[in-house]
Structure 1
Amino acid sequence: MEFQEAVMKLNTPTHKPKERSGGPKLSRWTIISFRKSPKPDKPKADRRRHREAMPDEFLCPVSGSLMADPVIVPSGHSFERASVEACKSLGFVPPALAGDVAAPDFSTLIPNHALKSTILSFCRNRSLPPPKPLDLASANKLVADLMSSQIHKTQKKLAPDTIEERQDSDRTRSIDSVATTAAFESTPQLQLAARPSFCCSSSCSSSEFEPSNPEEEELLAKLKSPLVFDVEEAVIALRDETRTSEESRVSLCTARLLSALRPLVVSKYCAIQVNSVASLVNLSLAAVNKVKIVRSGIVPNLVDVLKGGLPEAAEHAAGALFSLALDDGNKTAIGALGALPPLLHALRSGNERAQGDSASALYHLSLVQSNRVKLVRLGSVPVLLGMVRTGRLAGRALLVLVNLGSCAEGRAAMMDAGAVECLVRFLPRAAAGSTRDNCVTALYVLSPGGMRFKGLARAAGAAEALEKAEEGGSWRAREMARRMVEMMGERREETEGEDVDWEKLLEAETPSR
């Protein structure tokens, strides 16, 4: 009995734990923490887990984000619509297509409604917010960055020692210059030798690859001089030297000289700005220099001069863009770098020479589908039709209208603006030769408009004007006029049983000039 009482005393605690009112008794081994432990954010954790488990086919191969407006390209791949538009305007081949095709086809974009519905259902079932469409400006910047990274990878493979030096000196380069460089990554006009020729390099690294030219060295020394007089003397000498000498144009169009000339194009000193832009016009006259000049990143500066530079410099800037646009490899990049709006403005309000060069530049730039669509959306059709009505530069305006009418959006905009009536009225007073032929061609590119074109043409009395056009002009213009008259049903007895392939004939014809 005494033994049992001793055991009970050992098992009994000497201090009783205090009881909290309304709470359970605590054993002496319980550790109480007065710090509040944070509750896990379950929705955030769930969203993070769902993103990690998101299927790859829901993500755009270019942006890497969830697609809000997926479209299918002819190759069968799906992309975010804005990503495709950016790739098309900058000439970028997405990595998903790099191994399949040499030149991806982005001409047709088919909305992928099934994928879009699946993505929305996926987000709804997992309490995720639906994806927002990517805006075009962000897509352009994203694609430009991707292309820039590809360029740096290529540069490191070609010349790893010198490229690192150039990267340190070029870190402040603007995004416009990067986009210009990137747009020509896939263009094979210039072959890469010891270093990529499209790189905007510093003068010290360029000298390691370019042969020394005493005349160039003298010009460079003055162009970089802190004295305004020396700089002015150098740009005047460069303009005079390249005015007539083809050899000087080629030998002096180096990466170092273009790099030194680039900031002078927007100089606040009148003589320096005017002569710098004029020198660029002279350098661009050599065919081998055209792509090199665009790749040097100088086009954005020319665009700035065209927007708000000195009148004489703006006139030369329009001429330089016209000259650079003659090369097929430059057309897309010039349009992507913002040259179309100021060229259209110069066409409308510039002096006679600037208007002529702007019209010629717009004609060559509108040979590219992406630039046609941009020009239509900028409201170029009413401006061009106004030039035709007044007869001011009507021949060049007709050339641009022919290009715009070759796309569905441009054709619709032209008929909405009264192009059929305008062209029919202009045809009888058009000068014989290329102007009259181009007027007939402009009507002809509208003829695939179907019943709408027929109604507008009949209301404007096109048959009579076209029959008169058949009496003169080139064989091609006469054939176009004859076919349009037959299509309108004015000579049914001659067209019975004839099957005209309008699309084939349109593709085979090019406007005369």
Structure 2
Amino acid sequence: MEEGEMDAAVLVASAEMMLKRLEKAVEEIAAITDYRNAYKKQFCNLSRRIKLLAPMFEELKESKDPIPQRVIEALGKLNLALDSAKDLLRVGSEGSKIFLVLEQDRVMKRFQDTTSQLELALNDISFDEIDLSDEIKEQVELVHSQFKRAKEQFTTTDTELYDDVSTVYHLGADAKVDCAILQRLAEKLQLTTISDLKQESLALHEMVGSSDGDPGEVIEKMSMMLKKIKDFVQTQKPEMGTPTNAKVLYFHGTTKSLVIPDDFRCPISLDLMADPVIVSTGQTYERESIEKWLEAGHDTCPKTQQKLSSTSLTPNFVLRSLIAQWCEENGMDPPKRPAQTSSKPPSTCSASEHAKVVDLICKLSSANLTDQRSAAGELRLLAKRNADNRACIAEAGAIPILVSLLYTHDVHIQEHAVTTLLNLSIFEENKGRIIVSGAVPGIVHVLKRGSMEARENSAATLFSLSVVDRNKVIIGESGAIPPLVLLLGEGSQRGKKDAATALFNLCIYQGNKAKAVRAGVIQTLMGLLTDPEGVMLDEALAVMAILSSHPEGRAAIRTADALPVLVKVIRLESPRNKENAAAVLVHLCNGEQQQQHLAELQEQGMMVPLLDMVESGTDRGKRKAALLLERMNRFLEQQKEAEIQAEAHFQAQMQASTDPSTNAASAVL
């Protein structure tokens, strides 16, 4: 095949691939439906206009005339614009209705940007150079003109709805809300059924995932608002079941409102749990809700966004018993479990086993170091074996004594004590007991001054305890982060992994991010990212991704000159690592110095690797790559405009310098 024929064949293959991408994008957009929110009209119009482009792609596929390179490039821009539109439409279909109203300015800006991107992409297509029927040309030109008009329009949402949402959003969790406002919110947001309310709750949990696992104050306040709406709706419609956090009981013509403890409610459905189960991260959910979450293809814990090491569900019999006891004390029927659930509770410790544990705890308090060492070692092994032992040891009162032993000068006793606490913390009920006992300062003491094994097990213990959100604040304020950063740099491979997972989990809480950055974590992470063996690459990228959302984190990453390393990751590493590297780059290419970073990405030839990510990356990776491509294209367009203006200015100066009349006037003056 000659060179010209080869070029023609490449062009044809390139055109075919691009048309397939465009058709697939329109098909995926057509499959997105149910825009039940304040922007229903805008979402429906955007979707309808895009679907009208499908016949153009079909005709181009059937055309015998080759598509010119210029048109293929224009279709590539259209493909990126369709990806942006697809992301926006998914937000409209699956996203939080409350968030869409609360962030109306940002939402409408995205509408404008997406519409403008589509209009510019269509404008670049030269219809004279492609084989299209007059009917299709007219249809596409009509869509083009509609996009052109739409990008110049800015339609705000219902003002009253926005005011109501803002009012409730800024109230405290315990503040009372006017029933009239709650009524309007339920109706206008279309949150009037159990299905609507559960979908909104799931949408808020999804937002935690898309924000790199950092729920933040905004999502917490929106969850509070949803609870208020749900309580109101269920009070108005008793047939819907138990309200989120209150049950109204009637006694001789009077009412009594009972507040359901937060720990008794499923984090997903917000309902009182009937069949609580524990996932691998230690969090508890209603079985039906977490099963639906897993069936939808998720592999993370909805509350913490940690990756689940297993999808097995362990019945939380202790919590189920506490819920039943609470219901009985308050004159309520306990929630009924689904008929298919047939799990049996695990056996508890026998009398002899309990006696053995009590004997070991007595030896822990002995003045004899040998007895203490032996007892601590045995308890460590017992706590490692099974959940029954963990429950038995904690209930027998071992935790406060183990905490006191964290300060011992005996290295072996200290190691046994902190490792026993680690093993005990695996049992969900023990996490609260360990925190209440004041263990965190002692664990941090071991993390700073213990043997390497004790330090590493301290890090693992802090990770286990920080699975509970409120513990992240307690641990962060205890001074744990600097020694964790130190361990991340100098521990064994296991120790580094324990430190990294603890830091990641703690930094889900926004207030801990600055502490980690100031402790020098970015420099340590850069060392791990550039290590030739790459054994900590996954963990280092995950931690850097979550820190990049903080201003101090971004500044430190820029100072560390991380961009070339992140570019290399996107070219060569696994889809998950590419996703985290792209997440960091998205934050770097926003705000100050974004022009410099976008220019560097352009120089590094990142268009093709990012396009590959959009095609074959993880779901989150696709979103991040598409966002980077959108910013790079906008940057290139701005550069092009600047060059055109500079050239025009230069030509004007040249013309002025050679104009005789100008020269004559200058001579006279």
Calculate the TM-score normalised by the size of structure 2.
0.41
1:438 and 2:438 correspond: no
Residue aligning to 1:358: 499
Q: After superposition, what is the alpha-carbon deviation per residue over 1:178-204, rounded to whole angstroms, capped at 9, x for unaligned? A: xxxxxxxxxxx9x9x9xxxxxxxxxxx
Letter of the structure 1 residue corresponding to residue 436 of structure 2: R
Q: What pairs with 1:153-164 in structure 2 (closer than 5 Å)? A: none
In the alignment, the residues of structure 2 paired with residue 341 and residue 464 of structure 1 have an alpha-carbon distance, to the nearest angstrom, of: 39
Query: For 1:225, what is the secondary structure of its paired residue?
Result: coil
Extract unaligned runs of 5+ from structure 1.
1-99, 109-188, 194-211, 494-513
In the alignment, the residues of structure 1 paired with residue 438 and residue 461 of structure 2 have an alpha-carbon distance, to the nearest angstrom, of: 14
Query: For 1:488, what is the secondary structure of its paired residue?
Result: helix
Asked if 1 retains the 8 angstrom alpha-carbon contact of 2:365 and 2:372, the reply is yes
1:101 and 2:244 correspond: no
In the alignment, the residues of structure 2 paired with residue 225 and residue 292 of structure 1 have an alpha-carbon distance, to the nearest angstrom, of: 23
In the alignment, the residues of structure 1 paired with residue 530 and residue 174 of structure 2 have an alpha-carbon distance, to the nearest angstrom, of: 41
Cα distance, 1:473–1:373 mapped onto 2, change above 3 Å:
same
| Cα deviation, residue 437, structure 1 | 2.2
Letter of the structure 2 residue corresponding to residue 467 of structure 1: L
| Cα deviation, residue 107, structure 1 | 7.1
| Cα deviation, residue 277, structure 1 | 1.5
Cα distance, 1:418–1:480 mapped onto 2, change above 3 Å:
same
Residue aligning to 1:478: 622
Cα distance, 1:466–1:336 mapped onto 2, change above 3 Å:
same
Q: After superposition, what is the alpha-carbon deviation per residue over 1:164-221, rounded to whole angstroms, capped at 9, x for unaligned? A: xxxxxxxxxxxxxxxxxxxxxxxxx9x9x9xxxxxxxxxxxxxxxxxx9534432221
Asked if 2 retains the 8 angstrom alpha-carbon contact of 1:307 and 1:342, the reply is yes
Q: After superposition, what is the alpha-carbon deviation per residue over 1:439-474, rounded to whole angstroms, capped at 9, x for unaligned? A: 222222333334344234334443343234334322
1:409 to 552, 575, 578: 552
Cα distance, 1:381–1:459 mapped onto 2, change above 3 Å:
farther
In the alignment, the residues of structure 1 paired with residue 509 and residue 396 of structure 2 have an alpha-carbon distance, to the nearest angstrom, of: 28
2:567 to 421, 424, 443: 424
Q: After superposition, what is the alpha-carbon deviation per residue over 1:140-185, rounded to whole angstroms, capped at 9, x for unaligned? A: xxxxxxxxxxxxxxxxxxxxxxxxxxxxxxxxxxxxxxxxxxxxxx
Asked if 2 retains the 8 angstrom alpha-carbon contact of 1:485 and 1:491, the reply is no
| Cα deviation, residue 222, structure 1 | 0.8
In the alignment, the residues of structure 1 paired with residue 396 and residue 586 of structure 2 have an alpha-carbon distance, to the nearest angstrom, of: 45
Q: Decide which moves more: 268-277 or 470-479.
A: 470-479
In the alignment, the residues of structure 2 paired with residue 407 and residue 456 of structure 1 have an alpha-carbon distance, to the nearest angstrom, of: 22
| Cα deviation, residue 284, structure 1 | 0.8
| Cα deviation, residue 270, structure 1 | 2.9
Letter of the structure 2 residue corresponding to residue 436 of structure 1: K
Q: After superposition, what is the alpha-carbon deviation per residue over 1:73-111, rounded to whole angstroms, capped at 9, x for unaligned? A: xxxxxxxxxxxxxxxxxxxxxxxxxxx73499x979xxx
Residue aligning to 1:205: none
Asked if 1 retains the 8 angstrom alpha-carbon contact of 2:589 and 2:598, the reply is yes
Q: Which has the higher contact order (CA 8 A, sep 6+)?
A: 1
1:223 and 2:223 correspond: no
Cα distance, 1:107–1:435 mapped onto 2, change above 3 Å:
closer
| Cα deviation, residue 425, structure 1 | 2.1
Query: For 1:367, what is the secondary structure of its paired residue?
Result: coil
| Cα deviation, residue 345, structure 1 | 0.1
In the alignment, the residues of structure 2 paired with residue 307 and residue 397 of structure 1 have an alpha-carbon distance, to the nearest angstrom, of: 21
Asked if 1 retains the 8 angstrom alpha-carbon contact of 2:446 and 2:454, the reply is yes
Query: For 2:431, what is the secondary structure of its paired residue?
Result: helix
Asked if 1 retains the 8 angstrom alpha-carbon contact of 2:456 and 2:499, the reply is no
Asked if 1 retains the 8 angstrom alpha-carbon contact of 2:485 and 2:499, the reply is yes
Letter of the structure 2 residue corresponding to residue 466 of structure 1: L
Extract unaligned runs of 5+ from structure 2.
1-170, 176-215, 219-318, 326-352, 638-669
Letter of the structure 1 residue corresponding to residue 448 of structure 2: K
Q: After superposition, what is the alpha-carbon deviation per residue over 1:125-151, rounded to whole angstroms, capped at 9, x for unaligned? A: xxxxxxxxxxxxxxxxxxxxxxxxxxx
Query: For 2:397, what is the secondary structure of its paired residue?
Result: helix
Asked if 2 retains the 8 angstrom alpha-carbon contact of 1:291 and 1:329, the reply is no
In the alignment, the residues of structure 1 paired with residue 482 and residue 635 of structure 2 have an alpha-carbon distance, to the nearest angstrom, of: 44
1:332 to 473, 478, 495: 473
Query: For 1:291, what is the secondary structure of its paired residue?
Result: helix
In the alignment, the residues of structure 1 paired with residue 552 and residue 379 of structure 2 have an alpha-carbon distance, to the nearest angstrom, of: 44
Residue aligning to 1:260: 401
Cα distance, 1:255–1:383 mapped onto 2, change above 3 Å:
farther
Q: Which has the higher helix share?
A: 2
Letter of the structure 1 residue corresponding to residue 497 of structure 2: G
Cα distance, 1:376–1:247 mapped onto 2, change above 3 Å:
same
| Cα deviation, residue 286, structure 1 | 1.0
1:243 and 2:243 correspond: no
| Cα deviation, residue 235, structure 1 | 0.9
Q: What pairs with 1:274-423 in structure 2 (closer than 5 Å)? A: 274-390=415-531, 391-423=534-566
Residue aligning to 1:82: none
Q: Decide which moves more: 307-316 or 434-443.
A: 434-443
In the alignment, the residues of structure 1 paired with residue 520 and residue 453 of structure 2 have an alpha-carbon distance, to the nearest angstrom, of: 26
Asked if 2 retains the 8 angstrom alpha-carbon contact of 1:463 and 1:490, the reply is no
| Cα deviation, residue 353, structure 1 | 0.8
Q: What is the alpha-carbon root mean square deviation over aligned residues?
A: 3.3
Cα distance, 1:491–1:370 mapped onto 2, change above 3 Å:
closer
Asked if 2 retains the 8 angstrom alpha-carbon contact of 1:402 and 1:442, the reply is yes
Asked if 1 retains the 8 angstrom alpha-carbon contact of 2:575 and 2:621, the reply is no
Asked if 1 retains the 8 angstrom alpha-carbon contact of 2:357 and 2:396, the reply is no
Asked if 2 retains the 8 angstrom alpha-carbon contact of 1:255 and 1:296, the reply is no
Letter of the structure 1 residue corresponding to residue 616 of structure 2: G
Q: After superposition, what is the alpha-carbon deviation per residue over 1:324-361, rounded to whole angstroms, capped at 9, x for unaligned? A: 12221211110100100000000001111110000000
Asked if 2 retains the 8 angstrom alpha-carbon contact of 1:420 and 1:460, the reply is no
| Cα deviation, residue 285, structure 1 | 0.7
Asked if 1 retains the 8 angstrom alpha-carbon contact of 2:485 and 2:520, the reply is no
Letter of the structure 1 residue corresponding to residue 502 of structure 2: A
In the alignment, the residues of structure 1 paired with residue 395 and residue 588 of structure 2 have an alpha-carbon distance, to the nearest angstrom, of: 45
Cα distance, 1:471–1:324 mapped onto 2, change above 3 Å:
same
Residue aligning to 1:447: 589
Asked if 2 retains the 8 angstrom alpha-carbon contact of 1:348 and 1:383, the reply is yes
In the alignment, the residues of structure 1 paired with residue 174 and residue 599 of structure 2 have an alpha-carbon distance, to the nearest angstrom, of: 40
User: What fraction of aligned residue pairs are identical, expressed as a percent?
Assistant: 32
How many residue pairs are counted as aligned between the two chains?
Answer: 297
Residue aligning to 1:500: none
In the alignment, the residues of structure 1 paired with residue 632 and residue 369 of structure 2 have an alpha-carbon distance, to the nearest angstrom, of: 67
Cα distance, 1:435–1:254 mapped onto 2, change above 3 Å:
same
Calculate the TM-score normalised by the size of structure 1.
0.53
Asked if 2 retains the 8 angstrom alpha-carbon contact of 1:284 and 1:320, the reply is yes
In the alignment, the residues of structure 2 paired with residue 357 and residue 440 of structure 1 have an alpha-carbon distance, to the nearest angstrom, of: 24
| Cα deviation, residue 490, structure 1 | 7.3
Cα distance, 1:255–1:300 mapped onto 2, change above 3 Å:
farther
